[in-house]
């Protein structure tokens, strides 16, 4: 198995945005998943996410909350979120 991973053609900003997309989708679809932590998380989403202007702050937000994001997606059986998180974590965090 090749252990070298090339970072060519990896869009970490888009990977992070996909994770945030899934968080916002889940919180909208399952309001019971919302709590004070997720309310603060949503407030911390950088403006660059909404304008889709590449900025490392979106990736920092995702990478700093890997375990919380995975737990959110696992607890609510949100497979799309888990896949997006896995991709972002493996390629970028």
Residue 54 is assigned to a structural domain of this protein:
yes
Q: How confident is the model at residue 92 (pLDDT cuts 50, 70, 90)?
A: confident
Domain count within the chain: 1
The pair of structure tokens assigned to 2 is: 């090749």
Mean pLDDT value across residues 39-64? 95
26-57 burial: b if 16+ Cβ within 10 Å, else e: bbeeeeebeeeebeebeeebbebbeeeeeeee
Residue 76 is assigned to a structural domain of this protein:
yes
Mean pLDDT value across residues 36-59? 95
Residue 81 is assigned to a structural domain of this protein:
yes
Question: What mean pLDDT, rounded, does the chain reach?
Answer: 91
Residue 67 is assigned to a structural domain of this protein:
yes
Q: How confident is the model at residue 4 (pLDDT cuts 50, 70, 90)?
A: very low
Domain range enclosing 78? 26-91
Q: Are 61 and 20 in contact (CB under 8 A)?
A: yes
pLDDT at 36 over 50: yes
Q: d(Cα 23, Cα 77) in Å, to the nearest integer?
A: 12
Mean pLDDT value across residues 17-23? 98
The packing angle between helices 79-91 and 12-29, to 10°, is 160
Residue 75 is assigned to a structural domain of this protein:
yes
């Amino acid at each position: 198995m090749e252990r070298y991973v090339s970072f060519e053609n990896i869009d970490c900003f888009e990977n992070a945005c996909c994770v945030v997309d899934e968080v916002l989708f889940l919180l909208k679809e399952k309001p019971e998943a919302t709590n004070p932590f997720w309310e603060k998380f949503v407030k911390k989403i950088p403006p660059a996410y909404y304008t889709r202007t590449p900025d490392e702050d979106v990736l920092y937000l995702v990478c700093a909350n890997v375990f919380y994001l995975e737990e959110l997606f696992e607890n609510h059986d949100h497979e799309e979120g888990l896949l997006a998180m896995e991709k972002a974590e493996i390629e970028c965090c």
